[in-house]
Structure 1
Amino acid sequence: MSERNIFVVGMDDYNCKRLNHLRGAENYRFHGVIDPMEVNDTEVFPIEDMLDRAETQLKEFSEPIDAIVGYMDFPVSTMLPLLCKRFGTRSTSLESLLKCEHKYWSRLVQHEVIADYIPRFTVFDPFDSQALQHIGEAGLYFPFFVKPIKSSGSRLGFRIDSPEDFAHAVSQLCEGIGTISEPFNYVLEQASLPGEVRSVDGGHCMAEEIIGGWQCTVEGYVFQGDVTPYAIVDSIRYPQVLSFFYYRYPSRLPSHIQAKMQELTRQVMAHIGYDNAAFNVEYFWDEVQDRIWLLEINTRIAQSHCDLFEKVDGVSHQQVTVDLALGQLPDMPYRQGAFKVAAKFFYRVFFVDATVSRVPSAEEIETLQQAFPGTMITVQVEIGMRLSSLPEQDSYSYALAYVWMGADDDLALEENYARLAEQLNFAFEDIVG
């Protein structure tokens, strides 16, 4: 068999190694497109320029281009349908992708088929001085949640309990929304949009009824029209705050709740017309009311879950992305990994701001990784860095390090992380509490 050429937008060295461990990888050659620093840990997205440069690179390639893939959120997720269309490789359509990524359009489409499982919502212009009044006229009252039409991670999302909260959120939104709205609007210009969506560009925001409970992510894919949810990962938050503590796989949700979430996933993704691509859908299960809420749909695998699947199932679920792009039914193993449970932990501080004065040394990190087999630690800050300069953070905390761990059961996993976290020594000065 001749080797197949797979181009990966934003591929870094670590993920190149991971991709080369996939089933069938001996027959693949992975090529990077766009430097990973341009699409990861940055808040500058010159998407039109990046598309032009990617197209130039691909046109200069003298061999067949068998697939173009990615495993990251914006801007990579929205670049893929455009690149794939230009080069005749497999991808879902741009319109079906935007029915997931444009949060207002996504809610409209979800409402058509699973209205009982989504919160009340409305759209508003953060630059409109009457925005709060319009939200009230739409039937939303305190508390509610606001977020941009398109964001990345949990950036610029706020819980609103009062007019003062709304004023603070709007000031932050007006200051920061252009970072993504401008490149996202370029993508919207390439799509065929209904009028009610065309008028709501990336400079708008959503206001939604507060939902909550046990949060999780359904990982899935669509192959030739067949929607397949294949795994559920739990998202555990720090007590009393919105920030994520860790992701855990496999899920501990009751089996009937998992089955219902999978059923809802099949309904909504089929209705959207999403096809030949991976996705994940975030849900809440409100245990008190025994009610399921759909939070949002993402048009990619969750990169944060790659190591969890490797540890538990034996291979990263990037397998799904690559197989689909090659026109193959995904060949994911099941429970063939070295651990029964795995997690990605977020080591956080809850300052308003501070300057980092100490981080764990490379030797300290290596010692901890050796002490807990299968563990990987990546430090996200450097000495002298202001925490407020960290990209892709939520509105309430800063993630100083990511810790991936595996274990034989949940208790061992949590105990091992607690022991490890005690030995992660960071220090700060100029702390703003």
Structure 2
Amino acid sequence: MSTGVRNVFVVGLNDFNRERLETLRGAGAYRFHGIIAPEAVYDTEVFDIAAMLEEATRALEAFDGGVDAIVGYMDFPVSTMLPILCERFGTRSTSLESLLKCEHKYWSRKVQKEVIPDHIPAFTAFDPFDDDALTRIGEAGLYFPFFVKPIKSSGSRLGFRIDTPEDFYHAIERLREDIGLIADPFNTVLEHARLPDEIAAVDGHFCMAEEIIGGWQCTVEGYVFEGDVVSYGIVDSLRYPQVLSFFHYRYPSGLPDTIQDKMRELTDRVMRHIGFDDSAFNIEYFWDEVQDRIWLLEINTRISQSHCDLFEKVDGVSNQQVTIDLALGQRPDMPHRQGDYAVAAKFFHRVFFVDAVVTRVPSDEEVAALEADFPGTVIALQVTPGQRLSTLPEQDSYSYALAYIWMGAESPERLLENYDRLIARLVFEFDEIEG
């Protein structure tokens, strides 16, 4: 291994991530460089994949030095560009085909069905531009209620629970209007891959219909290093009562040990079968406590940025450590329970409006005072005065996130108490509210 400084290129590198990266183990021997501006992949819904790949390629070719690693922490479009760039420059990554077996939702379900059929819902692909789509879904054996989502989505966008034909046609209207924002650039990625004919016929403009699954939701964070699958942490995803919107992510998980062990076993089985390698991933699961059944919801081909601070608070280092180590060909050096807190969470402070205009957000001074009064807390406001909530990118279909709040505590109970006290002082105001 080279003893010199190693150049790590981060797609969409922003100041927030740079600060975290500089604290990783071994970071003194790395030099972090951004490629593709963060605003091109974060605060937009328009992704010109071909142009971004060309821009990144030019920047890397022009770099005066070695390209030792190319990484990213974002879902689409970053995750899907990484294998293409890494192959071009000979750096470590999983193959594009193995990545698409995770990210192309139909292909992913087909592959999962081959090895863990009892842990996935009934599913079928359909064309939202087909006027007979609802009939075809019924012919495939799916009946109300079911869930629909694009073949490739980002976050919870364009995901809908369907209880009636009216629900379906409302969802179809939204999907027809907006699906191209992800489908067109995703199809650009598919052109780079060798796809089976059955999968090539189901492009980014298609959707999935799936049997409703539910229960206690969590995420297994893991990686594969030279074929060895390692699950190093499980994070709970807790929702607001009666709605689909997330309330907070909590680490470590409160699930029974036997359930966590079973999820790790399923993770090992499916990731080996996919052929995923030398990269980080996370898998979202449900545990249906009534049926005592584990469901695999979806596979993501990256660490979760939302979890970085949680691992830092509880284990002592952000799980970005995993991404950097793997990209440099090293087995990840993640500590365990060496952080300052026994439990940590990322909270989503939301409003459940159809729309509104923000008239007031907490000032910098108010945010700083709250962070001082609750040590370890990080508050990231997501809105600005005068902003219409419907202009926020990457929201779910039911609410708007006003702020992300990371906190640590000595117990889950104290964590919630502290959050309630903080929120009472974090004041937003609105006008033109549509309920």
For residues 225 and 179 of structure 2, what CA distance do their matches in structure 1 show? Answer: 35
SS in 2 for 1:368: helix
Deviations 1:133-167 (A, max 9, x none): 00000000000000000010000000000000001
Who is 2:180 aligned against?
A: 178
Q: What per-residue deviation string (whole Å, max 9, x for no partner) do you get for residues 155-205 of structure 1? A: 000000000000100000011100010000000010000011000000000
Alpha-carbon shift at residue 41 of structure 1 (Å): 2.4
Map 1:19-418; keep pairs closer than 5 Å.
19-418=21-420
Inter-partner Cα distance in structure 1 for 2:425 and 2:117: 47
Q: Secondary structure at the match of 1:184?
A: helix
Counterparts of 1:375 and 1:342, CA distance in 2: 10
SS of residue matched to 1:342: strand
What residue in structure 2 maps to residue 8 of structure 1? 10
Paired with 1:99 and 1:30, the residues of 2 have a C-alpha distance of 29
Alpha-carbon deviation of 1:424?
1.1
Q: Distance in 2 between matches of 1:225 and 1:366?
A: 45
Structure 2: distance between partners of 1:318 and 1:366: 26
Whole-angstrom CA distance in 2 between matches of 1:20 and 1:427: 36
What secondary structure, in the 3-state scheme, does the structure 2 residue paired with 1:116 have?
helix
| Whole-Å separation in 2 of the counterparts to 1:42 and 1:265 | 32
TM-score of the superposition, structure 1-length normalised?
Answer: 1.00
- Cα distance in 2 for residues equivalent to 1:170 and 1:23: 48
Aligned residue identity for 1:363: E
Counterparts of 2:327 and 2:146 in 1: how far apart (Å)? 39
Q: Quote the Cα distance in structure 2 between the aligned partners of 1:40 and 1:152.
A: 11
Could you report, residue by residue, the CA deviation over 1:299-358 in whole angstroms, capped at 9, with x for unpaired residues? 000010000011001110000000000000000011111111000000000001111111
SS in 1 for 2:87: helix
Runs of at least 5 residues in structure 1 that lack an aligned partner in the other structure: none
1:17, CA displacement in angstroms? 1.1
Offset at 1:423?
A: 1.0
Distance 1:24 1:217 in 2: 27
Letter in 2 for 1:88: G
Counterpart-to-counterpart distance in 2, 1:68 and 1:383: 37
| Distance of 1:131 and 1:422 partners within structure 2 | 47
State the one-letter code of the partner of 1:123. A
- What residue identity is the alignment partner of 2:349? Y
Corresponding letter in the other structure for 1:151: S
- Distance (Å, rounded) in 1 between the aligned partners of 2:129 and 2:298: 24
- Under a length normalisation based on structure 2, what TM-score does the superposition of the two structures give? 0.99
Alpha-carbon deviation of 1:62? Answer: 1.5
CA distance in 1, matches of 2:36, 2:51: 10
**Structure 1 outlier segments of 4+, above 2 Å:** none
Letter in 1 for 2:207: C
Query: For 2:70, what is the secondary structure of its paired residue?
Result: strand
Q: Give RMSD over aligned pairs.
A: 0.5
How big is the shift at 1:42?
1.4
Secondary structure of 1:288's partner? coil
Aligned residues: 433
Report how far residue 52 of structure 1 moved. Answer: 0.2
How much identity, in percent, do the aligned residues show? 72
